Chains A and B, each alone.
Chain A
Amino acid sequence: MSSAAPAVKTPPRETRTGEAETLISVRGLSNSFGDQVVHEGLDLEVKRGEILGVVGGSGSGKSVMLRSIIGLQVPDAGEVEVFGETMLDREEGDLQRVRRRWGVLFQGAALFSTLTVAENVEVPLREFYPRLGAKLRDEIAAYKIVMSGLPAEAAPKYPAELSGGMRKRAGIARALALDPELLFLDEPTAGLDPIGAAAFDQLILELRDRLGLTVLLITHDLDTLYAICDRVAVIADKKIIAVGSIEELLELDHEWIQEYFRGPRGRAAEEAAEEAASEEAPHEETAAPQPAAKVEESKGKV
């Protein structure tokens, strides 16, 4: 898979040089369900062309944050802007313009159970570009399915006939159907075998480099964090307590962050990443320049 990676990568897009454009901006986000406060004054910025990982303990509100950004959860307070357009209190038509520029992979893949895998991938194409023609639509669905690592036989099958990991890949194929500028991934590698997960990491990296994709991904997969994330945001105490590269996060003196990255699994993933880096040294050099990392000290309790 990685052997196909080109020797020379696309030069950084104009937007990535200098001060990168902000694609997602969340300010003062507050969410609560009844008495249970999930977020309180949460801030987050995602720059164009970066891959930002979001980590946090179970139940820390990662998915709720994602749902707030894509407009599925109306927050109690705060502002959410995607592509510079506010997502709250908007007309359906305006939101539709934004929606055709992003792709979302849900945790459980959320495939439409009454449609085949190929039809699932075609749904966004059909919805946003009805004039595309059935032939091209089928072809696009076919290569997106192959691209996301599914066997060709999976295309005419229904989601119920697929395994969990295959469903996830079909979900990725659907999220990528429109060649989105922005990709939201909720635990993309959970349920994938290690080979599939590594191939997925590679796919995301390649797409970023070729198409200038911006990715916001929620993950618990430390290997994915080390392999593809430019920056990692840590969510705890109802807000984002730190954003930065893993090295920067490791220098912070926060108990949870230390435990997360310094635990036995964190160490193993770090070693694996170092090994991979030393083997493919030239590869590493061409990696995208890391956006200026913003690290704020934890203001809450330590």
Chain B
Amino acid sequence: MSSVARYNLTDDGGKKVLRLSGDLTLPWLGVLPTRLDRLKEGNLTLDMSDVGNLDTIGAWLVYRTARDTKGEIVGATKEHRSLIDKVAQYDEPVQVRPEAPPPMARVLGQIGHAVSQAGATMFGLLGFFGALLIATWKVIRSPRRFRVNAVVQRFEIVGVHALGIIGLMSFLVGIVIAQQGAVQLRQFGAEVFTINLVGRSAIKELGVLMTAIMVAGRSGSAFAAQIGSMKLAEEVDAMRTIGVSPMEALVLPRVTAVVLMMPLLGFYAALCAILGGALFCMVSLEIPLITFIQRTREVVPMTDVWQCLIKAPVFGLIIGMAGCYQGLQVESNAEEVGQRTTTAVVQAIFLVIVLDAFFAIFFTAGIGWA
């Protein structure tokens, strides 16, 4: 019968005897380990004659108590004795936890690490861009190496599958812009300028920016996660040894697809936003659809469309590169895949918005497109 492990400390004429009883097995140990830890006495005699079953954890406990109190073990059966000896054989000083630096050093270390990491990432991305250009050049020189099937498949995943969500999102954003604009412009009796607001902001900024954010979240993250897991499974290494360049097989098709899909998706998003705005104007401001479209054609200059179409592939390049680059940086474990994926999305969105600001200044002040 099993019973809870206990102990009883007696003073037997100057000789302290710790009498253990019950089952010294994991399920029956209870609070015994913590109470044994609190024992102050030295030179104990551990009497095991009443001990029932013993497992390696119980044996370790007895051995350790004897070791720490410089005591001796008596009354153990032959099996118990051999188990304790066995456990003792594996007693080595083992450092269980990794070394933890002091808090101050750790914070400073983290800051330093983050700074050097940021620098390394910038250099890394630059190098990656170079590698991408070299790979592109090689493919241009021998076009047979271009993986048409892979690219077309990416077209579908990056482009076609995103149509629904991007269309819906842009449509709703168009409605919101029109509604907010109408409220403000009504104060000046200039509700009709809602059309200018919706048309120009959608084509010049909103369409392509919202699309870039959505594509970064949908495809940039997927690139990082896919390539990251392939790195973990040593697929990328296998590719290299077979003579397949990961740059050509993995990175180029993805980047090509996203660069080519971004202008199409961006323009499509702008149209959806305008449609949303038009619908709102029709219902709420009683501007007929045909008037809205006519007016849009008049107020939106062609340069706005060029801006959209120039920015979109650049954003696509950034999203694709950030995703693939972070994916290829994965080295050790599954957690890193998640981390790298997050970094890829954050990096892509951040760079897209920064670049968008530069583009705005460049087009307005540099080229003079209003």
Say yes or no for B37: interface residue by CB 8 A criterion.
yes
Nearest residue, chain A, Cβ from B335: A114
Per-position contact with A for B315-332: 1 when CB-CB < 8 Å, else 0?
Answer: 000000000000000011
- Residue of A with least CB distance to B333: A113
B96 and A138 form a contact (CB under 8 A): yes
Contact present for A132 and B33 (CB under 8 Å): yes
The smallest beta-carbon distance between B90 and chain A, in angstroms, is 4
| Min distance, Cβ A59 to any Cβ of chain B, angstroms | 20
**A143 & B96 in contact (Cβ 8 Å cutoff):** no
In the complex, the answer to whether A156 meets B96 with C-beta atoms within 8 Å is yes
Contact, CB under 8 Å: B26 / A152: no
Q: Given contacts A4-B86, A132-B33, A143-B90, are A116 and B25 in contact (CB under 8 A)?
A: no
Inter-chain contacts of B83 with A (CB < 8 A): 210-211
The smallest C-beta distance from A144 to any residue of chain B, in angstroms, reads: 8
Does A179 make an interface contact (CB < 8 A)?
yes
Which bucket holds chain A's interface residue count? 35 or more
Any A CB within 8 A of the CB of B134:
no
List chain A residues, Cβ under 8 A from B96. 116, 118, 138, 141-142, 155-156
Q: A113-B335, A135-B37, A211-B56 are in contact. Are A156 and B98 (CB under 8 A)?
A: yes
Contact assessment for B95 and A152 in the assembled complex, using a CB-CB cutoff below 8 Å: yes
Q: Are B98 and A179 neighbours in the complex by a CB distance under 8 Å?
A: no
- With A146-B94, A155-B95, A206-B86 as contacts: A113 and B332 at CB distance below 8 Å: yes
Q: Hey, what's the 0/1 contact readout for B19-41 against A, CB within 8 Å counting as 1?
A: 00000011101110110010000
Residues on B with C-beta less than 8 A from A114 are 333, 335
Chain B: CB-nearest residue to A100: B27
Proximity bits, B47-67, A CB within 8 Å = 1, else 0:
000000001110011001000
Q: Within residues 78 to 98 of chain B, which ones have a CB less than 8 A from any CB in chain A?
A: 78-79, 82-83, 86-87, 89-98
Interface residues of B in 312-370 (CB under 8 A from A): 331-335
The answer to whether B334 and A113 touch across the interface, beta carbons within 8 angstroms, is yes
| Chain B residues near A159 (CB-CB < 8 A) | 333
User: By the criterion CB–CB under 8 Å, are B82 and A142 in contact?
Assistant: no
The A105-160 residues at the B interface (CB cut-off 8 A) are 113-114, 116, 118, 129, 131-133, 135-136, 138-147, 152-153, 155-160
Distance in Å: Cβ of B28 to nearest Cβ of chain A: 11
Selected from A116, A179, A206, the residue in CB contact (under 8 A) with B57 is: A179
Give the interface size class of chain B. Answer: 35 or more
Chain A contacts with B in 1-18, Cβ cutoff 8 A: 4, 6, 8, 10
> Would you call A249 an interface residue if the criterion is a C-beta within 8 Å of the partner chain's C-beta atoms?
no
Interface pair A131/B31, CB less than 8 Å apart: yes
Q: Which A residue's beta carbon lies closest to that of B79?
A: A10
State in angstroms the CA–CA spacing of A114 and B331 once bound together: 13
> Looking at B30, B79, B99, which has the most chain A CB atoms within 10 Å of its CB?
B79
Q: Are B57 and A6 in contact (CB under 8 A)?
A: no
Tell me the bound Cα distance from A129 to B30 in angstroms. 9
Complex contacts, A158 vs chain B, CB 8 Å? 332-333
Known: A136-B33, A138-B96, A156-B97. A179 touches B335 (CB 8 A): no
| CB of A141, distance to nearest CB on chain B (Å) | 6
Given B55, B64, B87, B94, which contacts A152 in the complex, CB threshold below 8 Å?
B94
A28 and B84 CA atoms in complex are apart in Å by: 43
Q: Which of B89-144 contact A (CB under 8 A)?
A: 89-99
Looking at the assembled complex, report how far the CB atom of A83 sits from the nearest CB atom of chain B, in whole angstroms.
14
| B51, chain A: closest CB distance, angstroms | 15
Q: Which residues of A contact B86 (CB under 8 A)?
A: 4, 206, 210
| B94 in complex: contacting residue of A132, A136, A145, A160, CB < 8 Å | A145
Q: In the complex, what residues of B have CB within 8 A of residue A144's CB?
A: 90
A153 to chain B: which residues have CB within 8 Å? 95
Q: Identify the closest chain B residue to A159 (Cβ).
A: B333
- A179 lies within 8 A of B89 (CB): no
Q: Are A118 and B97 in contact (CB under 8 A)?
A: yes
Contact with A143, one of B55, B87, B332 (Cβ below 8 angstroms):
B87
The yes or no answer to A178 lying at the interface (CB within 8 A) is yes
Q: Collect the chain A residues with CB atoms within 8 Å of residue B64's CB.
A: 139
Nearest CB on B from A143, distance (A): 4
Chain B residues packing against A (C-beta within 8 Å) = 25-27, 29-31, 33-34, 37, 55-57, 60-61, 64, 78-79, 82-83, 86-87, 89-99, 331-335
User: 20 A-B residue contacts at CB 8 Å?
Assistant: A6-B82, A113-B332, A116-B97, A118-B97, A131-B31, A132-B29, A132-B33, A136-B61, A138-B96, A139-B64, A140-B60, A142-B92, A143-B90, A146-B90, A152-B92, A152-B93, A155-B95, A155-B96, A179-B25, A206-B86
A interface residue numbers (CB < 8 A to B): 4, 6, 8, 10, 100, 113-114, 116, 118, 129, 131-133, 135-136, 138-147, 152-153, 155-161, 178-179, 206, 210-211
The 8 closest A-B pairs by CB, nearest first: A160-B332, A113-B333, A142-B94, A179-B55, A156-B98, A146-B90, A118-B96, A152-B94
Sample of 18 further A-B pairs with CB below 8 A, known A4-B86, A136-B37, A139-B60? A10-B82, A116-B97, A133-B33, A139-B64, A140-B60, A143-B56, A145-B94, A146-B92, A152-B93, A156-B98, A157-B98, A158-B333, A159-B333, A179-B55, A179-B57, A210-B79, A210-B82, A211-B83
